[in-house]
Structures are given as structure tokens and as C-alpha cells.
């Protein structure tokens, strides 16, 4: 199932968590994406920023010098939180990636319905954003797009989904050994560009890696998340001449 992407000319990302935001924001109405920049001075990048995310990926340039991302994800118990905007999975310290020679520690991952990233104008059914931070505070996000395959539920999601907190501000503990690697496609070719967080305060300077391959998710798994968040995706942002590069 695909959704046509609607490009809205808004200049504004973040997905730290609601706790790091000041003024209330949402995905629709008077506190929706078109108004984020007006809700709080801390959110000014949402309307004034020049390198905002998410974007529509097209006309990517092949860069043979881009190296594969090294994944060093560990299995372990996790905490699942409904932060009022999405479902966030907080992982224990120890998991990390190495990208372009830099180590970024995995902090958390969370979900958007539908996907925020588009490829040639098409959105996927959902996506997962893996947030990483380097020792000097730089942020790297990995986006994995999810598409419905009726008879192919994702095994890692199957471990998490019974613990999705329906009420904002609540958490659940998952004692099972959850390995985030189970939410990565086998083909890890990617597109990369400089952007921002996709929720207020829309901080820029984020290195994005969007996997080219999609991951399967079942209709039941999609419906389970949609029962909590029917729509929690920011509209596409203007690329403004930024270069999107593709790995081999």
C-alpha cells in the first residue's frame, strides 16, 4: 500500500522526545506543522531553517566513496514509551554504529505513520527512525521504510507490539532480548544528506541515512500502531539545493 506524498513548502525536524520540547505541538490543526515555528521561540528552525527534514528522495548522486555503515547493535531489554507524539523504544547503552569513520551511539528508535521520507513522491506505510549521537553531540538518524506484506509480520515488531502503551505519558518494560538489528533490511545501501530533526525544535545539522530497501510489516501490525497514532508524520520539506548521495 502506498501513499502519494504531498509536498508542503514549510521550512522547518526533531524527534528527541516530547520532554525536550517546551510549547505543546501536534500533527494537525492550530498546533500542527504549519504553525510549529510560531508556537515557541525555541522552535524557530521549524519555519526559518534552511536544511529541514524529511525530504523527497530523487535525483540522488552515486558516490562510490561512501562506505557501508557498521552496525554494532546489542540485544537486551528495552523500555517502550508513548511520549504523546509517537512510540519511542529506549535501549540500554552499548549499541552503536560507525558511519564515515565516526562512532554514533544508539539512543532510541521510534515510529511514524505513514513514513516521513518519500522516494520519488511515494511514501511507505510507516517508517522507523533510529537516533544516534556521537561523543561530541552530533546526531545521525537512520530511516527504515516499512511496507505492508500481508503474510510477513516482522519478528522484532512482534516482540514489541504487545507492549505498545496506548496512553500518552506511559511506559512499558520489555524484558525479552530485543535486538534492533531485526528492524534493518538485509540490503543496507542508503541515501544520505544533511537535514534536521523532524519534530520541534527542528534542530538542523543532522546527518540522515535513509535505507534504499524497505522492510516488510503485516497489515495487523500496521493496524495495531494506527490504533494509537493514525497519523504522526511531518510533511515533506524543501530540499533547497542540498545534495542527496547514494551508496553502492
The residue-averaged pLDDT of 143-168 equals 94
Lowest mean pLDDT among 8-17, 46-55, 64-73: 8-17
Q: What is the model's pLDDT at position 9?
A: 30
- pLDDT category at 155 given cuts 50, 70, 90 is very high
Residue 221 burial (CB < 10 Å; 0-12/13-18/19+)?
buried
Place of cell 510477513: 152
- pLDDT category at 177 given cuts 50, 70, 90 is very high
The residue-averaged pLDDT of 51-78 equals 97
Residue 168 CA to residue 190 CA, distance in Å, equals 33
- Which domains does the chain show, CATH number per domain? 3-61+68-246 (3.10.200.10)
The residue-averaged pLDDT of 57-82 equals 97
Residue 48 CA to residue 37 CA, distance in Å, equals 8
- pLDDT category at 22 given cuts 50, 70, 90 is confident
Paired sense of beta strands 87-91 and 102-112, if any: antiparallel
Q: Does the structure show a pLDDT above 50 at 17?
A: no
- pLDDT category at 6 given cuts 50, 70, 90 is very low
Q: What percent of the chain has pLDDT over 90?
A: 89
Q: Does the structure show a pLDDT above 70 at 53?
A: yes
Nearest Cα neighbor of 13 from 200, 144, 191 is: 200
Statement: the pTM of the whole predicted model exceeds 0.85: yes
Contact 140, 206 (CB under 8 A): yes
Contact 172, 163 (CB under 8 A): yes
Place of cell 502519494: 4
- pLDDT category at 150 given cuts 50, 70, 90 is confident
Residue range 183-204, pLDDT digits in tens: 999 999 999 999 999 999 999 9
Contact 156, 146 (CB under 8 A): no
Contact 153, 220 (CB under 8 A): yes
Q: Does the structure show a pLDDT above 50 at 217?
A: yes
Nearest Cα neighbor of 153 from 89, 214, 225, 221 is: 221
Q: Does the structure show a pLDDT above 90 at 77?
A: yes
- pLDDT category at 101 given cuts 50, 70, 90 is very high
Q: Which residues of 81-98 are buried (b: 16+ CB within 10 A; e: fewer)?
A: bbbbbbbbbebeeebbbe
The residue-averaged pLDDT of 95-118 equals 97
Question: Which helix (H) or strand (E) element contains residue 223?
Answer: helix 219-226
By annotation, the residues acting in catalysis are 85
Q: For the beta carbon of residue 14, count every other beta carbon within 10 angstroms.
A: 26
% helix / strand / coil in the chain, to the nearest 5?
15, 35, 50
- Reading the block at residue 117, the C-alpha cell is 521520507
Amino acid at each position: 500500500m502506498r501513499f502519494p506524498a504531498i509536498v508542503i513548502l514549510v521550512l522547518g525536524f526533531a524527534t528527541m522526545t516530547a520532554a525536550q520540547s517546551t510549547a505543546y505541538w501536534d500533527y494537525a490543526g492550530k498546533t500542527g506543522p504549519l504553525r510549529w515555528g510560531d508556537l515557541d521561540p525555541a522552535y524557530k528552525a521549524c519555519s526559518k531553517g534552511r536544511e529541514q527534514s524529511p525530504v523527497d528522495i530523487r535525483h540522488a548522486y552515486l558516490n562510490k566513496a561512501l562506505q557501508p555503515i557498521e552496525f554494532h547493535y546489542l540485544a537486551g531489554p528495552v523500555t517502550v514509551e508513548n511520549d504523546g507524539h509517537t512510540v519511542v523504544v529506549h535501549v540500554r547503552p552499548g549499541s552503536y554504529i560507525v558511519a564515515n569513520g565516526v562512532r554514533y551511539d544508539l539512543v532510541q528508535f521510534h515510529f511514524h505513520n505513514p513514513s516521513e521520507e518519500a522516494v520519488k513522491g511515494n511514501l511507505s506505510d510507516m517508517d522507523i527512525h533510529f537516533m544516534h549521537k556521537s561523543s561530541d553531540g552530533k546526531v545521525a538518524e537512520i530511516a527504515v521504510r516499512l511496507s505492508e506484506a500481508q503474510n510477513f509480520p516482522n519478528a522484532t515488531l512482534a516482540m514489541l507490539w504487545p507492549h505498545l502503551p496506548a496512553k500518552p505519558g506511559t511506559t512499558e518494560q520489555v524484558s525479552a532480548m530485543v535486538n534492533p538489528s531485526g528492524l534493518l533490511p538485509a540490503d543496507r545501501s542508503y541515501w544520505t544528506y544533511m537535514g534536521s530533526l523532524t519534530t520541534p525544535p527542528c534542530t538542523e545539522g543532522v546527518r540522515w541515512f535513509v535505507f534504499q530497501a524497505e522492510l516488510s510489516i503485516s497489515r495487523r501490525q500496521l493496524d495495531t500502531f494506527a490504533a494509537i497514532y493514525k497519523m504522526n508524520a511531518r510533511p515533506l520539506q524543501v530540499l533547497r539545493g542540498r545534495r542527496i548521495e547514494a551508496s553502492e
